[in-house]
Amino acid sequence: MAPPPAAPRSLARLALTALAGTSIEWFDFYLYGIAAALVFPALYFPHDLSPAVAQLASFSTFAVGFFARPFGAALFGHLGDRAGRKAALVAALVLMGSATALIGCLPTYAMIGAAAPVLLVLLRLAQGLAIGGQWGGAMLLIVENAPPGRRGFYGSFAQVGAPAGVVAANLAFLLASALAGPVGFVAYAWRVPFIASVALIGLARYLQRRVDETPEFQALARERGAAATRPAPPLVQALRTSPREILLGAGAFLAVQVSFYVSITFVVAYGAGPGGLGLPQSTMLTAVLLASAVTSPALVACGALSDRYGRRRIYLAGSVLMAVWAFAFFPLIDTRSPLWITLAICVTQAINGLMYGPQAALFSELFPTRVRYSGASLSYHLGSAAGGAIAPLVAQAIRTAYHGTFGISVYIAVMCLVTFACVSGLRPAPAMR
């Protein structure tokens, strides 16, 4: 018999806690993406590199965080399936807050030479490990407490942390740039939002003291206590019993990640970075900020729609719409009009919400409780490594090679077709139907 869901008041508090945790965590992760587009090429790489090569090098360090995410999923997934969802989430928040604050204190290439990019990569690796554990913990704290008919709605609050983090990161950089000016921003002001990320450690402390473990994990812990033998590690169990679900889940995430990072990271460099359209930095950051603000309520609405019409149906609709919209996105950006640029990014993020909004519920329902943290986190972060990690890099390489953006639209559309095929093959675990 399944454990009873949490009371409405408790669910509301958990939803807000999950939203706060994911928002600040993604704020840290996206700070790096914006800095990789606007600041790091000039500060952390040799000055004799061309602007295009320095931009590629900077986006390469951005990608490192994504490749670390599956390892973080394995590490924190083991902790979350053995010690509890809360313990794993607290550890991930502390790691992310520490690594991000240290990036804000990191000396530049002019100060310490080649050690600067090396240390930057190591701290980005730590960010990747942390985000690999954060999503699974925040998502399961709310989904495993929600009633079956409302998992999509409540799970979407963990998803809202992504656009909320983008809004916060862009606001932080816009404010820093406005207060310090272009010279002061590059010299020191960009560091302030990174250092402020120590706030995550305080949130971790709150979670540790005020939030209870989920009923499903508590029931699992009692079963394990009564068992005569010790089970295999959760990661091993997940790979042994659910390899199909892990791989299809990863493929389902490709369209979300590629479209998202092209439209919030690459597009900033394309519009305002070296060799781009020559637009003001504030134009691109404001457009991304407004689109992310629109996305937040859209994610909740799409999560609720998945409760009514089914996860797969909503997700599949998003992948088809994104494949078509990809060919309208860059022509709108190329107008150089702030209005059309904002519209292009807003529509992209709204369509993305059809997939990302139901995703917490969809992925949690693929795996049994004993391996849910490991399985869902692996799917999510393998998809992020294969999609989001290289999306800005691939987009930049396509633009450099073909002197245009049509190939980038083709790239997005192909990823949408892969996602459509993978989602079509997904089925929930019997215990979560």
What is the average per-residue pLDDT within 401-405? 88
Model pTM above 0.75 = yes
172 burial via Cβ count (<10 Å: 0-12, 13-18, 19+): buried
**String of DSSP letters for 147-184:** -GGGHHHHHHHHHHHHHHHHHHHHHHHHHHHHHHHHHH
pLDDT tens digit string along 29-52?
Answer: 778 877 887 888 888 888 878 777
CA pair distance 362, 358, nearest whole angstrom: 6
In this predicted structure, the answer to whether residue 207 has a pLDDT above a threshold of 80 is no
pLDDT, greater one: 181 or 119: 119
Token couple for 167:
């809004």
Residues 139-166, mean pLDDT to the nearest whole number: 87
pLDDT bin (cut points 50, 70, 90) of residue 322 is: very high
**Structural domain boundaries enclosing 206:** 10-218+232-423
Mean pLDDT, the chain, as a whole number?
A: 86
Coil vs helix vs strand at 197: helix
Q: Output the pLDDT for position 419.
A: 97
Whether residue 368 has pLDDT greater than 80: yes
Mean pLDDT confidence for 353-376 = 92
pLDDT tens digits for range 252-309: 999 999 999 899 888 988 888 777 788 888 888 889 888 888 888 999 999 999 999 9
Is 3 contained in some domain?
no
> What pLDDT does residue 348 have?
95
CB 362 within 8 A of CB 426: yes
Q: Report the domain count for the chain.
A: 1
More confident residue, 362 or 132: 362
Q: Residue 432 falls within a domain, yes or no?
A: no
pLDDT of the residue at 9: 59
Residue 63 has pLDDT above 80, yes or no: no
* 5-32 per-position pLDDT tens digit: 555 557 777 788 778 778 877 787 778 8
Q: Is residue 2 part of a domain?
A: no
- Does 73 fall in a domain? yes
CA nearest to 69, candidates 377, 390, 419? 377
Q: What's the CA gap between 320 and 57, in Å, rounded?
A: 33
Structural domain includes residue 282: yes
Question: Is residue 431 domain-resident?
Answer: no
Is residue 151 within 8 A of residue 365, CB to CB? The reply is: yes
Check which CATH number belongs to the domain holding 166 and give it.
Answer: 1.20.1250.20
Q: What is the pLDDT of residues 226-264, one digit of tens each?
A: 665 677 788 888 899 899 999 999 999 999 999 998 998
223 in a domain, yes or no? no
Any domain includes 182: yes
